[in-house]
Amino acid sequence: MKKMVCSILLLTFLFILTSCNASVEEKNPIDKEVFHKTSNDNDNPSVKDVKNVDVANTHGSIEGLERMQNFYHNLQNGISSELRIVHYTIEGDPIVTDLNYKEDTVKVTYDSSRDNFGSGEITSVICSDLLEEVNPTNTSYIATGCSDDFFGMAEILTIEYNLGRQDLFGLELKFGEKLENELNTKTKEATHINASKTRTTSDFKLSTPVKQEVFKKLIMANYLGELDLKTTCQSEDSKEYYLKVYINGGDRDYHWSSCDQGSDALKFTEIAEYMILQSEMEQTESPETVIQGYILQVEDDTLLIGVDLNILDYELLKDEIQHIDLSAYVFDFISLEGVKTDEFKIGDKIETIIKGSITGSNPGIAQVKDIMRLDISVTR
């Protein structure tokens, strides 16, 4: 009898406890909120002493870039999301940036506690939006409408892919069932075999804009990182690819099959097919050069612009431009002549077609053939 009474009392207690817990959850619905994780736990970047890393920026080699893109996409669609980014210092210490988007605000938290040469602080700033600014040679993600930060902005991640800053860039691509076709910008030879016919070109080349686009795609695919590419597939229609990239004083090679559906292989297949498509088109160096930039000075019929700056770069430079030696900066500056300057003002982002060539450097000098003002949203 005592055992029965005890059992009834125990069941009653558990029922009351369960009811209380349910009541607490209903009174605190925020505890139920589900954040969209931009990462896949099985293939996150590995960083010593830092867990749950989504994006790792190792001096420009960026692993997990697609998660940054996914976070931006979620934010644009009002989906609550979290993202963790690690930047490495020159000494190799990790600096952590956490993004937390919820209810139209972005909380940005900086953690430098693992930086042996830094302040060791953990600080946060609340922002209202995230800007993706795409330039011809770089892409930046910048939090805007921020409290307690420079110019109300915080630079989250920048991806550089300026081919003009490389000393050498060459490409060798072999493709086909037995890698029988070849495109080679170093030897300037191309071989296409189709229906037992061989077509060989001894003056093969890819134009500078095409090579710039290939370089951008390689950077976005993290070509210098550890990749997972497969060459063994159970498919009769599979195409083989072999790509060798010559960059400055080194080279990297990659071999994969078209039936490899991994994320790395899909990116490299897109690069290879882009090269193949371009090789079948006439490659002419355009006499017109197109550039983008922010206006830093307006004088008479001349505009001074900073080429491929992002909005935060512009804000940092605009008040200093009168007192600095332009040649000391890593940015490129161009003085555009022949412009109706009354149509433009300092701070405008413009795109211009250059007449002829650019002479000199920092600032270079160029004649304008055509010019238009850009809304920053156009470059997103």
Q: Is residue 155 part of a domain?
A: yes
For residue 37, which of 81, 4, 73, 87 has the smallest C-alpha distance? 81
Q: Is residue 360 part of a domain?
A: yes
Residues 104 and 70 occupy one common structural domain: yes
Q: Is residue 233 part of a domain?
A: yes
Q: What is the CATH number of the domain that holds 219?
A: 3.30.1560.10
What pLDDT is recorded for position 36?
54
Q: What is the mean pLDDT of residues 126-131?
A: 96
For residue 55, which of 73, 69, 76, 42 has the smallest C-alpha distance? 69
Residues 90 and 176 occupy one common structural domain: no
- State which of 114, 141, 160 marks the end of a domain: 160
Element (H, E) at 281: none
Read off the tokens for 263. Answer: 């994320």
Residues 243 and 300 occupy one common structural domain: no
Q: At what angle do helices 263-279 and 208-220 cross, to 10 degrees?
A: 170
What digits encode the pLDDT tens for the residues 59-103? 889 999 999 999 999 999 999 999 999 999 888 899 999 999 999
DSSP for residue 172: E
Residues 253 and 297 occupy one common structural domain: no
Q: What is the CATH number of the domain that holds 353?
A: 2.40.50.140
Q: What is the mean pLDDT of residues 265-271?
A: 97
Residues 251 and 303 occupy one common structural domain: no
**Which residue did the predictor score with more confidence, 332 or 48?**
332
- The C-alpha torsion from 160 through 163 and 164 to 167, rounded to 10°, is 110
Residues 170 and 211 occupy one common structural domain: yes
What residues make up the domain containing 16? 2-32
- The C-alpha torsion from 179 through 181 and 183 to 187, rounded to 10°, is 90
Q: Is residue 332 part of a domain?
A: yes
What digits encode the pLDDT tens for the residues 181-201? 999 999 999 998 876 688 888
Separation of CA 224 from chain center: 14
How far, in Å, CA of 363 to CA of 341, rounded?
18
What pLDDT is recorded for position 37?
56
Residues 133 and 207 occupy one common structural domain: no
Total number of domains constituting the chain = 4
Least confident range of 73-82, 95-104, 223-232, 305-314? 223-232
Residues 304 and 347 occupy one common structural domain: yes
Element (H, E) at 78: none
Q: Is residue 13 part of a domain?
A: yes
Residues 146 and 171 occupy one common structural domain: no
Residues 156 and 48 occupy one common structural domain: yes
Q: Is residue 214 part of a domain?
A: yes
Q: Is residue 284 part of a domain?
A: no
- State which of 259, 279, 299 marks the end of a domain: 279
Residues 63 and 18 occupy one common structural domain: no
266 has a pLDDT exceeding 70: yes
Break the chain down into helix, strand, coil percent, rounded to 5: 25, 40, 35
| % the chain with pLDDT above 90 | 66
- The C-alpha torsion from 350 through 354 and 359 to 360, rounded to 10°, is 10
Residues 179 and 94 occupy one common structural domain: no
Separation of CA 99 from chain center: 16
How far, in Å, CA of 336 to CA of 217, rounded?
30
Which three-class secondary structure string do you get for 139-166? EEEEEECCCCCHHHEEEEEEEECCHHHC
For residue 296, which of 311, 281, 282 has the smallest C-alpha distance? 311
Long-range CB pairs of 177-184, under 8 A, 24+ apart, other chains included: 177/239, 177/240, 178/240, 179/240, 179/241, 179/242, 183/275, 183/276, 183/279
Q: Is residue 59 part of a domain?
A: yes
- State which of 245, 279, 313 marks the end of a domain: 279
How far, in Å, CA of 238 to CA of 241, rounded?
10
